[in-house]
Amino acid sequence: MRTPGRLFAAVALSALGIGGAAYAQQSGMSFFVTSAAIGKGADLGGLEGADRYCQQLAQSAGAGSRTWHAYLSTQAADGKPAVNARDRIGKGPWQNAKGVVVAKDVDELHGQNNLTKQTSLTEKGDIVNGRGDTPNKHDAVTGTMPDGRAFPPGEDKTCKNWTSSTQGTAIVGHIDRLGIGDDEAAHSWNSSHPSRGPEGGCSQTDLRSTGGDGLFYCFAAN
């Protein structure tokens, strides 16, 4: 018969084992969706601010030893060239917090990948609310064309290169691969539709109005 002290120790060791296994999986994680928004709409502090947020969340999940970049494109402006999201996330393969590979390389990521509602997990290993859930948070800001490249300069597709929380437009993808219609855009993980809303298109309220929350994808670049 186990004494209360021995029983407590056994339970504690069991919990430690479960937690250790989860931590080990997350330390091998190389892809996630941000579990929470920065909170300023599409103003992410530019690419630098978004990358820093990815790194912060990865660190909290035990995967901070890697270099993390946000999957975001920027448009050419103010004498600076465009940046393609596909060029800043490394070569792959990438796996989620549960150890499931979502794509083996950049071409597969932008082709027949394994991104679904069940595999596009947060750094905590949680599923993101999608179409049919309350609230729906399935819009991920990307500012990106389906092939992972930036839009040409001119019409704003990145909320002023991720510095505006008022006027502008950001292209979003559907984390759960579901939309109102049944077309290619509705099923796109990275290029579904532009943001819009009563406050100009880039605020937190605007992003929420179309089924988002200012979430974005993070990839380990090394």
Measured distance CA(209)–CA(189) in Å, rounded: 18
pLDDT in tens, 117-175: 999 999 999 999 999 999 999 999 999 999 999 999 999 999 999 999 999 999 999 99
Measured distance CA(177)–CA(139) in Å, rounded: 10
Q: Measuring CA to CA, how many Å separate 157 from each of 70, 166, 214?
A: 16, 13, 15
pLDDT in tens, 52-96: 999 999 999 999 999 999 999 999 999 999 999 999 999 999 999
Task: Identify residue 39 by its one-letter amino acid code.
Answer: G
Residue 21 is predicted with a pLDDT of 44
Domains of the chain: 4-220 (3.10.100.10)
Beta bridge partners of 127: 121
Measured distance CA(136)–CA(28) in Å, rounded: 28
Alpha helices, H only, the chain: 4-27, 46-60, 106-109, 159-162, 204-209
Whole-number average pLDDT of the chain? 91
Dihedral of CA atoms 95, 98, 100, 105 in degrees, nearest 10, equals 0
Which among 202, 221, 213 is positioned nearest to 129, based on CA atoms? 213
